[in-house]
Amino acid sequence: MKIFYKKSGLIDELNKSRESKFSIGFVPTMGALHKGHLSLLKKSLIENNTTVISIFVNPTQFNNTADLTTYPKNLNKDCELLESLSDEIIVFAPQAKEIYTDGVITNEYDFHGLDKYMEGEFRDNHFNAVATVVELLLDIVEPNSAYFGEKDYQQLKIISCIKSNVDIIGCATLRDKNGLALSSRNNTISIESRETASNIFKNLNYVKSNFNTLSVENITAKVTHNINLFEQMELEYFVIADQDKLEPITTVNVEKKYRAFIAVFVDGIRLIDNIALN
Ligand code: PAF
């Protein structure tokens, strides 16, 4: 498996093999890889001649230093996991100065309102930081397709509106047996808390089952109550929103598609999830 720390090396490698009908699939990550990331890579390996993964913990998208410092990092373990999947994956693991050559920057984007609620409301400037790093990475790798998980559905929608020459492909969320959405952050909470956190998905399923019969207000009240029953959990937001414009709703229009979005602190660790409702 080839690992590049410098973008010049990666670009040379990709240029060597870039030819007509040759396609590059790209999976941008912040490392601490799990089966969810592997599922994106598997899809890319099937659909492309070459698959590149970036492992870069982007400092600008964290809203507090504690979250950045505790974010799990283990490049060797990540590489072992990648080797077990395929030795053909190309790894790009740069340092910040390799990405932000002109100093750390965060560009300002117009996301046409997609960033107004949920993550955008609670994480100041987060999506500008994500879009900036994803654009820088896409400019280096120049892939045909890039793969993102639907767990970060709002991120997926936002990235889809920044680059028109790359196919942005959303992939289904992978879950533990108990339903908890796979996330690099899950390893930073105890096994017992992970069990408690499985109530996040249980509640999303409750929302899906009752979406046609209960009002949005009643559902919201029930989910808020259910989550806050657990001492280890604290609800940050629960929102039912239009799945295209990501605008929260209070009443349902049967012509439209909706998703429920949730963010919960479990033992102080922030987990997010979402589910398609109709
Ligand atoms: O989803 C992530 O892991 C990150 O937000 C991404 C897309 C790799 C950008 O740093």
The residue whose CA has the least distance to atom 6 of ligand 1 is 29
How high is the mean pLDDT of the chain? 96
Indicate if the alpha-carbon torsion angle 159, 37, 185, 142 is positive or negative: negative
The answer to whether residue 29 scores a pLDDT higher than 90 is: yes
Residue 62 Cα to ligand 1 midpoint, Å, equals 11
Give residue 63's pLDDT.
87
Kindly report, residue by residue over 200-252, the tens digit of the pLDDT. 999 999 999 999 999 999 999 999 999 999 999 999 999 999 999 999 999 99
Contact 273, 173 (CB under 8 A): yes
Rounded distance between C-alpha atoms, residue 177 and residue 238, angstroms: 23
Give residue 151's pLDDT.
98
Rounded distance between C-alpha atoms, residue 148 and residue 146, angstroms: 7
Ligand 1 binding pocket includes 40 (Cβ within 6 Å): no
Please name which of 131, 98, 90, 124 lies closest in space to residue 1, comparing C-alpha atoms. Answer: 90
Give the single-character DSSP code of 272: E
> Which residues lie below 8 Å from residue 245, measured CB to CB, with a gap of 6+?
113, 114
Q: Give the global pTM.
A: 0.96
Give residue 64's pLDDT.
87
Give residue 15's pLDDT.
92
Mean pLDDT, range 114-132, rounded to an integer: 97
Ligand 1 binding pocket includes 50 (Cβ within 6 Å): no
**37 a catalytic residue:** yes
Residue 241 Cα to ligand 1 midpoint, Å, equals 22
The answer to whether residue 21 scores a pLDDT higher than 90 is: no
| Per-residue confidence band for 117, with pLDDT thresholds at 50, 70 and 90 | very high
Strand residue runs (E) in 87-246: 90-92, 145-149, 167-171, 233-242
Percentage of residues in the chain having pLDDT higher than 70: 100
Kindly report, residue by residue over 48-90, the tens digit of the pLDDT. 999 999 999 999 999 889 889 989 999 999 999 999 999 999 9
